[in-house]
Structure 1
């Protein structure tokens, strides 16, 4: 299933008001952890899968990337990305991640931020990215954590007074689509286990360098008490891996 919720005017308007949409990477809670997994970008050819507003594309160029290609299914997302980009070194293309076609070894780095949990066949996406990367290339991705996606409700279990008692986990090993509510709309996400994510990457030929479940740092907890919730259950899974050098 290839969803394009973001081209719905009402949905896009709501998304546009989210802090990460307004303020960029600095307002994305997982950005610091994601950035720490990135390799040296200077001179690299970078691919961004599900580029959205193009924040990561522009960051890559700021860090010296030689060229960047960002793909996204949403015309509205790409319109916003192009409006915010004055850089001939960045190219935006419209299309689904599942349909993308690139040459073997065309890129040195592939990144994907919170997009691949919308893709049904993660294993096929991994094989494609592996083929598009040059030997020794890096793949850095983030998805919603399987603890978070296991139940479609994606919400706490509340007490009689509305207190958050615990985060329920059920049907963890039943992989597949979940119809979740996001911005007051139904959105289909694909749940898979941590093992499935890691094994699919390994089967495609990647070596896992680092895995993060975004444990809040003392600085994060002091700056924003809301991070205390992330100490109770993980919301993000981030993985840094590399294509084996030949």
Structure 2
């Protein structure tokens, strides 16, 4: 993985985002994701790409007895540790595609908007398969394949700078895309919906939910949010490890 989040200028801008300042309440996909989460009581939970640790702390608050948050960014983890008082949470710096844990260690693995930074989705799923318990749950969100396909992740505008449409191009050509995120070139990886789902099915995961979250009504008055009803920006998948 590449680690743009430890770039000082980029991280300063990232800290100003609503989801950075407001946590889960500032994430428009959160009302959808929260409904898909299991009962964490007594569980061991892994948060891959934990960032500021919002989901890790949520799991601990709701009864998890062990939570591990993994992130490649030292800056992200520093913020996560500063916001965490729970003794059941441990943060680890590492690459999501390479980090390993004992076999069958976790009841639930969560990953929020991180796996589109990983070059090989199948490699990560193979890793998860080893340390996720039988009947354990994998829940992840990524940028939607429609959103990542063309690469720029920008609207098409008319001469008056009104939105015309959102471009979808080169959909079946998987691989790296460079987009402008917070005025910084950022590398992400586009893969099709088929790849996401069939990779899980081929490894004996049972699909429980496949959801394209819409902005909640409470956020539709925010600048630009109503336009997000015109395209799928995110994808959430919940699957059970059948071993």
Residue 108 of structure 1 aligns to a residue whose secondary structure is strand
Q: Deviations over 1:161-218 (max 9, x none)?
A: 1110110100000000001111111110000011110011111221100111113455
Q: CA deviation at 1:160?
A: 1.2
Give runs of aligned pairs for residues 86-165 of structure 1, distance below 5 A. Answer: 86-165=85-164
Give runs of aligned pairs for residues 1-246 of structure 1, distance below 5 A. Answer: 2-216=1-215, 218=217, 220-221=219-220, 223-224=221-222, 226-244=224-242
Preserved CA contact (<8 Å) 1:45 1:108: yes
Q: CA deviation at 1:225?
A: 6.8
Task: After the TM superposition, list the runs of 4 or more consecutive aligned residues in structure 1 that deviate by more than 2 angstroms.
Answer: 215-221, 223-228
Preserved CA contact (<8 Å) 2:68 2:92: yes
Pick which of 212-221 and 193-202 moved more.
Answer: 212-221
Structure 1: runs of 5+ lacking an equivalent: none
> Structure 1 length as normaliser, TM-score?
0.95
Separation of aligned partners in 1, 2:151 and 2:233: 14
Q: Deviations over 1:53-110 (max 9, x none)?
A: 1011000011111110000001111111111111110000000001101111000000
**How large is the RMSD of aligned CA atoms in angstroms?**
1.3
Preserved CA contact (<8 Å) 1:130 1:205: no
Q: CA deviation at 1:153?
A: 1.1
Preserved CA contact (<8 Å) 1:48 1:57: yes
Preserved CA contact (<8 Å) 1:117 1:191: yes
Residue 230 of structure 1 aligns to a residue whose secondary structure is helix
Residue 225 of structure 2 aligns to a residue whose secondary structure is helix
Cα distance, 1:205–1:86 mapped onto 2, change above 3 Å = same
Residue 58 of structure 2 aligns to a residue whose secondary structure is helix
Separation of aligned partners in 2, 1:225 and 1:24: 18
Separation of aligned partners in 1, 2:171 and 2:65: 41
Separation of aligned partners in 1, 2:106 and 2:16: 33
Residue 97 of structure 1 aligns to a residue whose secondary structure is coil
Separation of aligned partners in 2, 1:217 and 1:17: 21
Q: CA deviation at 1:8?
A: 1.1
Q: CA deviation at 1:228?
A: 2.2
Residue 151 of structure 1 aligns to a residue whose secondary structure is coil
> Structure 2 length as normaliser, TM-score?
0.96
